[in-house]
Amino acid sequence: MQTHSVIDPKYRRPLLVLGLLAASTFLSLGLLVSRWVVGGRFAYPFLVWNLFLAWVPFGFAVALCLTHAGGNPRPAKMVVLGVLWLLFFPNAPYLLTDFVHLGQEHNGPWWCDLMLTIGFAWNGLLLGLLSLFLVQRVVSECVGSGWGRATSAGALVLGSFGISLGRFGRFNSWDVVSNPVELLADIISQVLHPMDYPKQFAMAVLLCAFLSLAYLTLLALISLGRDDLQIKDPGIGGMPGSSLFLR
């Protein structure tokens, strides 16, 4: 007897992606708790907060997608969600910079801490790039693919600069509201005199190059997956709303 899944086919792939992201997140959190138990001390607690902040832009990106796909366009709401996404976007790949907290002594615990940091950095990178992909898709469907590509390029540049501000200037997304004057002064100074901030400038450029390459790789993999689906079932590629991530 043939059985049918209770999950609508158009939701299977998005739910699979969300499930994998959740599994990866819980694995990292489990490793951190194990580190606390085995090490006997409350090490790296900031990773939990940083990982939470990495989920925030992904949440805004999903909300933007759902608003766009709801059949009742709300331009004002979409603009607000887009601005909030951009504001928090640097928090996701910011986890890549947490390697700075590793110690200098390369003993057994150091290697465990390295794997722990890699896990959190991986989650941050993946959440950031997937959120960027979702936003680019929405912009492309609303105003054209050229604007979608321009949005992703601009977000990568601004995001890399934001990460540099966070690591060296110790600014965060909340400073836009809580400390706007100092934040704006620092941004203007770095933009007008980048050579006065060689470390910040170099970090922003290298991060932008790395994140751009990583994002292009993600797009290529998604394209391969979409092509494979179309080969197996030529109708699935054109199915309206067939997938949040592959369409």
Q: For residue 134, is pLDDT > 60?
A: yes
Q: Which of the residue ranges 103-107, 118-122, 218-222 has the most confident prediction, judged by mean pLDDT?
A: 118-122
Domain housing 148: 9-238
Q: Is residue 151 part of a domain?
A: yes
Q: Is residue 246 part of a domain?
A: no
Q: Is residue 52 part of a domain?
A: yes
- pLDDT for 39 equals 77
Q: Is residue 247 part of a domain?
A: no
Q: Is residue 48 part of a domain?
A: yes
Number of domains in the chain: 1
Q: Is residue 195 part of a domain?
A: yes
More confident residue, 244 or 158: 158
17, 245 contact by CB (below 8 A)? yes
Q: What is the pLDDT of residues 207-233, one digit of tens each?
A: 999 999 999 999 998 888 665 555 554
The mean pLDDT of 156-172, rounded to a whole number, is: 89
Q: What is the pLDDT of residues 139-157, one digit of tens each?
A: 999 999 999 999 999 999 9
Cα(92)–Cα(142) distance, integer angstroms? 25
Cα(123)–Cα(23) distance, integer angstroms? 10
Q: Can you give the pTM of this predicted structure?
A: 0.84
- pLDDT for 37 equals 87
Q: What is the pLDDT of residues 57-83, one digit of tens each?
A: 999 999 999 888 877 768 889 999 999
Q: Which of the residue ranges 117-121, 197-201, 224-228 has the most confident prediction, judged by mean pLDDT?
A: 117-121
- pLDDT for 229 equals 53
- pLDDT for 232 equals 52
Cα(119)–Cα(208) distance, integer angstroms? 21
Q: For residue 242, is pLDDT > 50?
A: no
Cα(127)–Cα(134) distance, integer angstroms? 11
Q: What is the pLDDT of residues 39-52, one digit of tens each?
A: 777 889 999 999 99
95, 50 contact by CB (below 8 A)? yes
In order, the DSSP letters of the chain are -----SS-HHHHHHHHHHHHHHHHHHHHHHHHHHHHHHHTS---THHHHHHHHHHHHHHHHHHHHHHHHTSS--HHHHHHHHHHHHHHGGGTGGGGGGGGGS-S--SHHHHHHHHHHHHHHHHHHHHHHHHHHHHHHHHHHHH-HHHHHHHHHHHHHHHHHHHHHHHHS---TTHHHHSHHHHHHHHHHHHH-GGG-HHHHHHHHHHHHHHHHHHHHHHHHHHHHHHHHHHH-TTGGGSTT--SS--
The mean pLDDT of 74-96, rounded to a whole number, is: 93
- pLDDT for 234 equals 43
- pLDDT for 170 equals 79
pLDDT category, 236, cuts 50, 70, 90?
A: very low
Q: Is residue 245 part of a domain?
A: no
Q: Is residue 32 part of a domain?
A: yes
